[in-house]
Amino acid sequence: MSETQPLAAGGPDDERIKEQGGFRKWLIRPELGGIVGVIAVFVFFGILAGDSGMFNAQGIMNWSQISAQFMIIAVGACMLMVAGEFDLSVGSMIGFAGISIAMFGVVWGLPMWLAIVITFAICLTIGAINGIIVVRTGLPSFIVTLAFLFILRGFTIFVPQTVESRTIIGGIEEAAEGDWLAALFNTDLAGWFFVWLADIGLVDTFTRGTREGEPVISGLPMLIVWAIVLVIAGHIILTRTKYGNWIFAAGGDAQAARYVGVPVDRVKISMFMTTAFCATVFACVQVFEFGSAAADRGILKEFEAIIAVVIGGALLTGGYGSVMGAALGALIFGVVQQGLFFADVESSLFRVFLGIILLFAVVLNTYIRRIITGER
Amino acid sequence: MNAFFKTMAVTAVSAVALMGATAVHAEGERYVLVSHAPDSDSWWNTIRNALALAGEQMDVEVEYRNPPTGDIADMARLIEQAAASGPDGIITTLADPTVLSDSIQAAVDAGVDVIIMNSGTPEQAREVGALMYVGQPEYDAGFAAGQRASGDGVTNFLCVNHVISNPVVAERCQGFADGLGVELGESMIDAGQDPQEIQNRVMAYLNANPETDGILALGPTSADPTILALEELGLAGDIYFGTFDLGENIVSAIRDGVINWGIDQQPFLQAYLPVVVMTNYHRYGVLPGNNINSGPGFITADGLELVEALAGEYR
């Protein structure tokens, strides 16, 4: 935004608006680690698993979907983390929102769009409660959202168990048939494009069954569309709006921000609602794709979101980070998780690898930033 | 940013060049087993060991994949992933047909052979286009147990059901009654999950029905308190007693003669046989005409030594 900067009191030579070199500016971007990491993992798996199916159409779709899942929750987690807080209830919220849609839409027979709207309302309220407790009590968000991790998971098992005496509720596909809002979470876009790709031989086709001759990918899933939309929206809010500045200020030094008139509490509460929103989007996409909701969905997803954000260069202490970085972190996470399979690595070693990447990313990010900014 | 895109382009080109130069897979068939079990479930160790053994014996590549937290939606992605890697066959459970059948169906349609093991039914396996189902059909297992008990002279039995909410498990009691050739009627009791309650209900039932000469328990949860009930009543060893599944108490009760047999669904065979079947199918085009029942395998005091020695490994 430097082009709109008014001339400061001291004239063009004022040290407060000192120009930085382009290279230096680029180096202190939070995305740097993410970009380096993305290049590294693609080269790594290109060598290790290049001919294993990882880079055929199905393989690309597979790790893209996994990455998109991580991206959706990472956007919320990133913005909240920039605002200086955590949300450990994300994973439980995914299971909770899924069961909520199934209960309202299938068990209690409401129209599916209404079930979705109600679920969003409930989840956003819970997000707000999370935030209100944190800002009113001054307790660490780690503890408050840890409590909600268990509260939500408990309800998620209790309600369907009591009403329906089961914890997996199916029949969602039938109930969502022709519903306009549900279609927003589960439609394959641009199917013609993949038919064309199949025609020119870039995508395989089914060789038997009722779909023989159709391409193995029927279109671009809404999961990926949602991920892209949320990443772009989050990026714009964080870097191009006044609200974005408030988020950075609230996470950097809340007291200083209050002094200059930033409504810190409101900003933080709204960010807790954002993570809840992202978790609910995740749940909707999952529920409508797979046609059932289960009480054990989303376990450990909160940590996966945080890992993606941290690999993407955000600071755990708040005030620093970027949604683009988090999206790259999610991409790395997804590619590594799926790629190790294609590279024929024992799946239990995946976590070792992930831990090393996480450690490496954090150290690299911190190190680079310290050199460049001269922080001690 | 131009420099950055240039770097990206160069990297991409060199990556593509490298791709062509590496050959990752050896010759031989490759099979992927995808289970629904979380990392913490030790029952599946037997499956993993049997899978590795089958791979070694048949000289094929085998891989085991599971969703770390047991999330079935994650499992669907694992099946898609496995299919994308172009294996000769996928062995998987049908833990939740609503979530999994699309992914399995797509794999089948893309030309990958699939065998369903452990969870699911032969009908469901046929619906998703699998070659066969390898597992323990609950009714048949109960029926075989009933026939065995009938041969040993049982005429009046009690079925201790601790999972009354699961209709599939209740099939075991029905099968047992049919195998004995008697009506199920009031013989199946809802025992609940609490050990004390189970023990008391078994004692109450036996006091009220003194003609009972056989007991079937549906797993360690109901079998362990039933052992205590029989000891309390002084009937331990006098009354004919069989159970599903194995556990420490069950094994020692078999040794002591309190339990006549335990029914094992044999996870070993559930992992081992699909590899053998598929390898022979791909090499010689031969395929058994039916589904395979991995259970019931009866474990009695005679075969107990081997069971104890290999427990958790191959049994």
Is the pLDDT assigned to residue B88 strictly greater than 50?
A: yes
Is the pLDDT assigned to residue A149 strictly greater than 60?
A: yes
pLDDT of residue B24: 35
The verdict on A206 touching B (C-beta cutoff 8 Å) is yes
For residue A160, is the peptide bond before it cis, meaning its omega torsion is within 30 degrees of 0? no
Q: Among all residues of chain A, which has the CA nearest to that of B113?
A: A208
Helix orientation angle between B97-109 and B72-84, rounded to the nearest 10 degrees? 0
pLDDT of residue B77: 92
Q: What is the DSSP letter of B155?
A: -
Element (H, E) at B84: helix B72-84
Query: What is the phi/psi pair of residue B113, to 5°?
Result: -80, 140
Percent of chain A with pLDDT over 90: 33
Query: What is the phi/psi pair of residue B311, to 5°?
Result: -55, 130
| Tokens, residue A305 | 């979101």
The verdict on B72 touching A (C-beta cutoff 8 Å) is yes
The verdict on B289 touching A (C-beta cutoff 8 Å) is no
Residues of A with Cβ-Cβ distance to B23 under 8 angstroms: 51
Percent of chain A with pLDDT over 70: 88
Question: What 3-state class would DSSP assign to B284?
Answer: helix
Q: Among all residues of chain B, which has the CA nearest to that of A98?
A: B73
Is the pLDDT assigned to residue B15 strictly greater than 60?
A: no
Picking from B99, B127, B164, B169 by the largest number of A CB atoms within 10 A of its own CB, the best residue to mutate is B99
Instruction: Look up tokens 């060789």; give the residue.
Output: A207
Is the pLDDT assigned to residue A164 strictly greater than 80?
A: no
CA dist., res. B52 & res. B64, Å (int):
9
Residues of A with Cβ-Cβ distance to B19 under 8 angstroms: 46-47, 50-51, 55
DSSP secondary structure string for all residues of B170-200? HHHHHHHHHHHTS--TT-EEE--S-HHHHHH
Q: How distant, in Å, are the alpha carbons of A104, A124, A248, B289 from that of A133?
A: 28, 14, 21, 63
Element (H, E) at B141: helix B138-151
Name the residue among B8, B81, B111 with its Cβ closest to that of A341: B81
| Tokens, residue A345 | 């690595």
Q: What is the pLDDT of residues A169-205, one digit of tens each?
A: 888 888 888 888 888 888 777 777 777 777 777 777 7
Percent of chain B with pLDDT over 90: 50
Q: What is the DSSP letter of B296?
A: P
Residues of A with Cβ-Cβ distance to B80 under 8 angstroms: 58, 61-62, 65
Q: How far apart are the first and last CA of chain B?
A: 60
Is the pLDDT assigned to residue B127 strictly greater than 50?
A: yes
Interface of A with B in 254-273 (CB under 8 A): none
Q: How distant, in Å, are the alpha carbons of A65, B61, B94, B111, B272 from that of B134?
A: 31, 20, 11, 20, 10
- Compute the nearest-CA separation of B230 from chain A (Å): 32
Name the residue among B23, B63, B110 with its Cβ closest to that of A207: B110
Q: What is the DSSP letter of B95?
A: S
Residues of B with Cβ-Cβ distance to A355 under 8 angstroms: none
- Yes or no, beta carbons of A209 and B105 under 8 Å apart: yes
Question: What 3-state class would DSSP assign to B37?
Answer: coil
pLDDT of residue A373: 62
Residues of B with Cβ-Cβ distance to A22 under 8 angstroms: none
Is the pLDDT assigned to residue B38 strictly greater than 50?
A: yes
The verdict on A348 touching B (C-beta cutoff 8 Å) is yes
Q: What is the pLDDT of residues B287-311, one digit of tens each?
A: 998 899 998 889 998 888 888 888 7
CA dist., res. A43 & res. A104, Å (int):
47
- Compute the nearest-CA separation of A338 from chain B (Å): 7
The verdict on A223 touching B (C-beta cutoff 8 Å) is no
Q: How distant, in Å, are the alpha carbons of A124, A265, B208, B246 from that of B242?
A: 53, 64, 21, 11
Q: How confident is the model at residue B227 (pLDDT cuts 50, 70, 90)?
A: very high
The verdict on B19 touching A (C-beta cutoff 8 Å) is yes
- Compute the nearest-CA separation of A260 from chain B (Å): 35
Residue pairs between chains A and B whose CB atoms are closer than 8 Å: 140
**Amino acid occupying residue A78:** C
| Tokens, residue B70 | 């047991």
- Asked whether B31 and B277 are in contact (CB, 8 A), the reply is no
Average pLDDT, chain A: 84
pLDDT of residue B22: 35
Phi-psi label, residue A218: left if phi above 0, alpha if psi -120 to 50, beta otherwise: alpha
The verdict on A15 touching B (C-beta cutoff 8 Å) is no
| Total residue count of chain B as it appears in this document | 315
Name the residue among A52, A211, A294 with its Cβ closest to that of B24: A52
Residues of B with Cβ-Cβ distance to A42 under 8 angstroms: 11-12, 15
Q: Among all residues of chain A, which has the CA nearest to that of B109?
A: A208
Residues of A with Cβ-Cβ distance to B99 under 8 angstroms: 290-292, 294
Which ipTM score applies to this complex?
A: 0.75
Name the residue among A47, A299, A343 with its Cβ closest to that of B69: A299
- Yes or no, beta carbons of A286 and B20 under 8 Å apart: no
The verdict on A292 touching B (C-beta cutoff 8 Å) is yes
Query: Average pLDDT in the B168-178 region?
Result: 87
Name the residue among B18, B102, B109 with its Cβ closest to that of A50: B18
- Asked whether A49 and B24 are in contact (CB, 8 A), the reply is yes
- Yes or no, beta carbons of B129 and A209 under 8 Å apart: yes
| CA-based nearest residue to B199, from B229, B163, B161, B241 | B229
The verdict on A162 touching B (C-beta cutoff 8 Å) is no
The verdict on A297 touching B (C-beta cutoff 8 Å) is yes
Element (H, E) at B58: helix B45-58
- Yes or no, beta carbons of B72 and A59 under 8 Å apart: no
Average pLDDT, chain B: 85
Q: What is the pLDDT of residues A126-146, one digit of tens each?
A: 999 999 999 999 899 999 999
Q: Are strands B214-217 and B157-161 parallel, antiparallel or unpaired?
A: parallel
- Yes or no, beta carbons of A344 and B63 under 8 Å apart: yes
